[in-house]
Structure 1
Amino acid sequence: MTSECFMLAANGWVPNNSQLPVIVYRAVERGDCDEIARAFERRFGRHGWPPDWRDTVYDYHHYHSTAHEALGVAAGHAVLELGGPRGRRMDVSAGNALVLPAGTGHRRIHSTEDFLVVGAYPAGQEWDICCTAP
């Protein structure tokens, strides 16, 4: 497993987070889609981030102002844009995980048809969605 972290500055209407970095973990889990999804759900839950959904990432810019978000890629691959319009583009694939601090803009630019993500939020944090009109 490898990891990287970076800060994102405010970008127009997207605040990002001036105190906490985005963290990206590569090759965290291995297996088929269901094995990886279950492994991320267990891992997130053990750390106090109950898994909340299995789906894709919205294809429009948005952020959550009230909650941090963990994303575990269970299948496929995609290009995500982090930080809002003209932000940082990042390739992600099955087995990768991201931790997005509250306020971090994100969207899916394109993905394979099988792209599947597990989403989780810290216990006690209720997520909202802030965006421009999709």
Structure 2
Amino acid sequence: MPAADQNATPPGFGITLDTDGTEPRVVVTGELDLLTSPQLQEALAGLIADKRAQRVVADLTGVTFFDSSALNVVLRAQRQAGEQDVELAVVPSPAVSRVIELTGVAEHLSVSEDPQA
């Protein structure tokens, strides 16, 4: 039996970079978990390190599941953004908001309810 492809993207998961506007945006749909979180980490790290904008938006309004590995990625990106003098705005879905609320990390994140923010 062949080993599972570690780079396989689960059905329903998508990540899109929108760098056309004044604020680069990472738009994620589907489940953010141990398998998919590295893709978010790579996208956010690249936009933050690029330093072309003072603000980067993580649009997570289409995320249906959000686990601790995804939360860790967002918190690390927040720290990286702070070190680079870039604001990271997180726009959560209800699933993401619940994890942020339950873990008490909201004070460490710039959370916005407006997907266009």
When normalised by structure 1's length, the TM-score is: 0.32
Which protein is richer in strand relative to its size?
A: 1
When normalised by structure 2's length, the TM-score is: 0.35
